[in-house]
């Protein structure tokens, strides 16, 4: 059950919003739901999904723990049955004083013969409906509406009626989710999205001063609530392939084996709140099996992707225009304030690309004796590679050509200092000799 629901969590969320959007405002504001179960990932996931829509949710491993968390009356109890006997259900619900007057119950049952005992006994424990594992999220959400008496059993989900003979909640027939069914479900979502209106472009400038804009609106740093939520989205956006959940937890919450998943959901919820005003009904982060990625439907532009694309094009067909375009994007290192490993590796690669591109552009400008452009481009290149001897030579040549010996001396001294501090090296004897001869000839 947990694997199926976790895999389908992001894909079905849009349908989830469509189902609950028809619920009465009274229910959204006042319904209090208790999620019980020993399966912690499943319990946390169910609670997170319902809390995001505005339900008042309490999650606990045992009934007595739930009473300690909140003593008020629950409108609905969702019980993830892990045991196979009626006695285990009764023991699990003892802390609630079951049955509760006026409380609806939904039991999630194991799909095996032993669970028949629990399903037969569940009505005696106060359960109104039950659902067998594995199942998709949409039938569960529809049953919540039925149990809270805000939609009728004959209602449809997104305009589609329930198929006769299928595993409907309240029957003993199991509804398995096969890979083919999952694929068909994803295809249907993609085909429906073709008619969606044009969305505003999200532009992320992550090199130099970080800037994020949606259309004409600039996103201030304060809207991200936490740095980890911001860097989580940037990490997924800057990755060209889905990132495993385990890697994200290890990167952002190292050592948090049990609480890491909860922290990840909280960060994703914070990201969702940032983009909800601009992309209502569209999840910014989606799940692909055990991986996360930025929603492919989100129109996205990143300066780091553009730098990599232009550099790849230049290596195939070198042109001055491509180098000039690269220079316009080389505004600084990639997320210089982020010290995480993923950002460091990305920053190292982009710094190398920018240094190489600016070095080649500097050489072309020096050949044309555009000395002011040489100084501008070379100094920009030194921000990515302060120990690049070729760039230092170009600056010295341009400054001496412009009769700026004092500036040339400062440039050389700064280069020597960078070599000593960063690499513990001295400039090559040939470079020192060339510098002395150039300075002497300029006097």
Domain ranges of the chain: 2-154+170-175, 202-298, 311-442
> 60-105: per-residue pLDDT in tens?
876 556 555 555 677 788 887 664 444 455 555 555 555 555 677 7
Q: Considering only CA atoms, give the Rg of the chain.
A: 30
Task: Give yes or no for residue 292 having a pLDDT over 80.
Answer: yes
| CATH number of this structure's domain 2-154+170-175, picked from the four choices 2.60.40.1220, 3.40.50.150, 3.40.50.2300, 3.20.20.140 | 3.40.50.2300
Closest CA to 74 of 108, 19, 35: 35
Mean pLDDT rounded to a whole number for the chain? 75
Task: Give yes or no for residue 353 having a pLDDT over 50.
Answer: yes
Integer Cα distance of 252 and 54 in angstroms:
27
Inter-CA distances, 417 with 310, 338, 359, 395, Å:
33, 26, 21, 16
Residue with the larger pLDDT of the pair 384 and 55: 384
pLDDT of residue 105: 77
pLDDT of residue 435: 84
- The token pair at 59 is 């999650």
- 160 — pLDDT class (breaks 50, 70, 90): very low
pLDDT of residue 81: 67
User: Can you give the pTM of this predicted structure?
Assistant: 0.57
Segment 293-298 shows an average pLDDT of: 92
Which own/partner pairs from 290-293 qualify as long-range (CB within 8 Å, at least 24 positions apart)? Answer: 290/7, 290/244, 290/245, 290/246, 291/242, 291/243, 291/244, 291/245, 292/10, 292/236, 292/242, 292/243, 292/245, 292/248, 292/268, 293/236, 293/239, 293/241, 293/242, 293/243
Segment 310-316 shows an average pLDDT of: 94
Looking at domain 202-298, its CATH architecture is Orthogonal Bundle (1.10)
Beta carbons within 10 angstroms of residue 187's beta carbon: 10
Question: Of 178-192, 212-226, 246-260, which has the strongest mean pLDDT?
Answer: 212-226
Least confident of 11-20, 89-98, 180-189, 243-252: 180-189
pLDDT of residue 381: 93
Query: Under a CB-based contact definition with an 8 Å cutoff, are residues 35 and 57 in contact?
Result: yes
Residues 6+ apart with CB under 8 A from 362: 374, 377, 378, 381, 390, 391, 394
Q: Which CATH fold would you assign to the domain 311-442?
A: 1.25.40
pLDDT of residue 134: 67
Question: Of 114-118, 123-127, 193-197, 205-209, which has the strongest mean pLDDT?
Answer: 205-209
pLDDT of residue 432: 86
Task: Give yes or no for residue 412 having a pLDDT over 50.
Answer: yes
Bridge partners of 218? Answer: 213
- 257 — pLDDT class (breaks 50, 70, 90): low
Integer Cα distance of 379 and 8 in angstroms:
51
pLDDT of residue 193: 45
């Amino acid at each position: 059950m947990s694997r199926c629901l976790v895999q389908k969590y992001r894909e079905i969320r849009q349908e989830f919003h469509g189902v609950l959007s028809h619920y009465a405002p009274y229910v959204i504001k006042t319904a209090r739901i208790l999620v019980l179960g020993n399966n912690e990932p499943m319990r946390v996931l169910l609670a997170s999904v319902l809390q995001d829509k505005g339900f008042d949710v309490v999650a606990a491993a045992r009934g007595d723990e739930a009473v300690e968390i909140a003593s008020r009356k629950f409108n609905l109890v969702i019980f993830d049955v892990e045991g196979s006997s009626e006695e285990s259900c009764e023991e699990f619900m003892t802390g609630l004083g079951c049955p509760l007057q006026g409380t609806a119950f939904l039991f999630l049952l194991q799909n095996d013969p032993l669970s028949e005992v629990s399903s037969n006994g569940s009505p005696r424990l106060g359960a109104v409906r039950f659902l067998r594992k594995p199942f998709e999220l949409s039938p569960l959400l529809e049953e919540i509406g039925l149990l809270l008496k805000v939609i009728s059993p004959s209602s449809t989900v997104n305009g589609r009626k329930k198929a006769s003979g299928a595993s409907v909640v309240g029957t003993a027939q199991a509804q398995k989710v096969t890979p083919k069914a999952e694929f068909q479900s994803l295809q249907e979502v993609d085909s429906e999205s073709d008619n969606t209106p044009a969305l505003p472009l999200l532009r992320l400038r992550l090199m130099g001063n970080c800037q994020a804009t949606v259309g004409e609106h600039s996103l201030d740093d304060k809207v991200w609530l936490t740095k980890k939520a911001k860097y989580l989205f940037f990490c997924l956006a800057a990755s060209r392939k889905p990132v495993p959940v385990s890697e994200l937890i290890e990167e952002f919450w190292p050592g948090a084996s049990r609480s890491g998943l909860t922290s990840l959901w909280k960060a994703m919820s914070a990201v969702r709140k940032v983009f909800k005003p601009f992309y209502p009904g569209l999840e910014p982060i989606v799940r692909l099996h055990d991986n996360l990625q930025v929603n492919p439907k989100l129109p996205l532009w990143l300066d780091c992707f553009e730098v990599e694309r232009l550099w790849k094009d230049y290596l195939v067909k070198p042109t001055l225009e491509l180098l000039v375009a690269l220079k316009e994007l080389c505004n600084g290192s990639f997320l210089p304030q982020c010290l995480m490993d993923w950002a460091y590796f990305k920053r190292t690669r982009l710094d190398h690309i920018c240094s190489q591109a600016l070095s080649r552009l500097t050489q072309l400008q020096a050949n044309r004796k555009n000395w002011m452009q040489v100084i501008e481009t070379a100094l920009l290149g030194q921000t990515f590679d302060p120990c690049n001897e070729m760039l230092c030579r170009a600056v010295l040549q341009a400054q001496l050509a412009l009769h700026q010996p004092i500036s040339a001396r400062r440039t050389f001294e700064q280069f020597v200092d960078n070599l000593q501090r960063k690499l513990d090296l001295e400039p090559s004897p040939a470079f020192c000799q060339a510098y002395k001869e150039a300075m002497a000839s300029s006097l």
